Structure 1
Amino acid sequence: MRMFRNAMLFTTLFAVAACVTVNIYFPTQQVDKTAEQIVDQVYGIEQPEGGNGDVPEQNGGSSSIRDAFRMVAGYFGPAVAHAQDATTVSNPAIRQLKNQIAANHNQLKPYYEKGAVKIGKDGMLVVANTSGLSVAEQAELKRLVRADNQARSSLYNEVAKALDISQSEVGKIKDIFAKHWREKAPASWLQ
């Protein structure tokens, strides 16, 4: 009898564990598309016609039917933990940071042309060669670089929040953005 009870307990625990499916993934394509669009906007690269700067929402059918199905599946299906399905990666904080980085970029352009600021391998800005700059210009350059790097870090954190990505994976977001910051920049801007 005791062996039967233990077998039943084991079977019950196994069945419960089998019903819980944890599917955690990193939405590489969403982050890549978001990074590409934001970098294009900051650098002033033309968007495809109809592009508004936000990643467009995919419409795979009626959203009300899809939402109803997800609600029912949530009650009866296995529990699934994953990054957010929405493909629109924009919110007021992301738009504000993107605009701030774009404004910084416009102020930094003369410094890029002089070789005073470069884009590092991590996608962050670094002060490079300040010879030929006045003390006031050097101070302004350092202020702009610091502000821009802080805005970039904040942007990566906001993208992680918008996509429900854990803080431990913000480095992946930074790497994806770094690839776009560097690929779309002139070679003379790179460190």
Structure 2
Amino acid sequence: MRKFPRIALVALVVALVGCVTINVYFPEAAAQKAADQFIGTVLDGSGQKAPAAADKGAPARDNPPPAQQPSAMLLDLLVPAARAADVPNLRVQTPAVQAIHDRMRARFQSSLQALLDSGAVGFTRDGMVAMRDAAKVPLSARAQANAVVADENRDRAALYREIANANNHPEWEAQIRATFAQTWIEHARSGWYYQGASGAWQRK
């Protein structure tokens, strides 16, 4: 009986690879963990570094895998990304994220915390901050307060974009922003203001 030509086997495997659908799902749990760590260190000072990447390691094997046929081994070599894509990691620790973290932490300590405590500024539902009641800021300090809000929002937008780009998935930016938006509100201290789902201001 004639053996199946090796070149035909390779062609078959390549054809199979072309049929593989790679579904990369947004790692919501990893994003939530990263947001908790990042925001916690900015607002609570529980650490001075942005969080390391939230990795999901492969499950440990108690027994060695069974022997595979050459065709199966070749398929494994050609489509590892298709298998790994179902459980993506989330890379958070980058120089750009660390720089944003340090600026936000310093800004919170020097000025933003006081604005939040007074009720002048609150957390918005889209992961930003906004001037809620300018009357709570002395007229002579309003320009500076508005500059603080603008600088904070600039860094927040850059943060969400940088995390998405660092993971080679710029399309994740909106989901990262949404995760952080909810987490900022969860970390808000008693007395701070935030926007509910309708956009109305609420006090925590």
Specify the TM-score bucket, using the shorter chain as the normaliser. Answer: 0.7 to 0.9
TM-score by length of 2: 0.68
Partner of 2:52: 54
Specify every segment of 5 or more residues in structure 1 that has no aligned partner in the other structure, as ranges. Answer: 1-11, 62-71
Partner of 1:67: none
C-alpha RMSD of matched pairs (Å): 2.9
Partner of 1:35: 35
Report the alpha carbon displacement of residue 77 of structure 1 after superposing the two structures with TM: 3.0
Question: Counterparts of 1:121 and 1:77 in 2: how far apart (Å)?
Answer: 40
Specify every segment of 5 or more residues in structure 2 that has no aligned partner in the other structure, as ranges. Answer: 1-11, 61-73, 195-204
Give the aligned residue type for 2:185: R
Partner of 1:179: 182
Does the aligned pair in 2 maintain the 1:20–1:78 contact within 8 Å?
no
What does 1:108-127 correspond to in 2, within 5 Å?
A: 108-127=112-131
User: Equivalent of 1:99, from 74, 97, 102?
Assistant: 102
Change (3 A) 1:189 1:123: farther
TM-score by length of 1: 0.72
Report the alpha carbon displacement of residue 38 of structure 1 after superposing the two structures with TM: 0.3
- Percentage of pairs with the same residue: 26
Does the aligned pair in 2 maintain the 1:118–1:189 contact within 8 Å?
yes
Give the aligned residue type for 2:165: K
Does the aligned pair in 2 maintain the 1:26–1:165 contact within 8 Å?
no
What does 1:1-191 correspond to in 2, within 5 Å?
A: 15-16=15-16, 19-44=19-44, 46=46, 53-55=51-53, 57=55, 60=58, 75-77=77-79, 80=82, 82=85, 85-106=88-109, 107-167=111-171, 169-191=172-194
Report the alpha carbon displacement of residue 156 of structure 1 after superposing the two structures with TM: 0.3
Q: Which has the higher helix share?
A: 1
Give the aligned residue type for 2:51: G
Change (3 A) 1:77 1:122: closer
Q: Secondary structure at the match of 1:113?
A: helix
Question: Counterparts of 1:59 and 1:24 in 2: how far apart (Å)?
Answer: 16
Report the alpha carbon displacement of residue 172 of structure 1 after superposing the two structures with TM: 0.9
Count of aligned pairs between the two proteins: 164
Report the alpha carbon displacement of residue 79 of structure 1 after superposing the two structures with TM: 5.9
Give the aligned residue type for 1:110: A
Give the aligned residue type for 1:77: V
Say which structure, 1 or 2, has more relative contact order (CA 8 Å, 6+ apart).
1
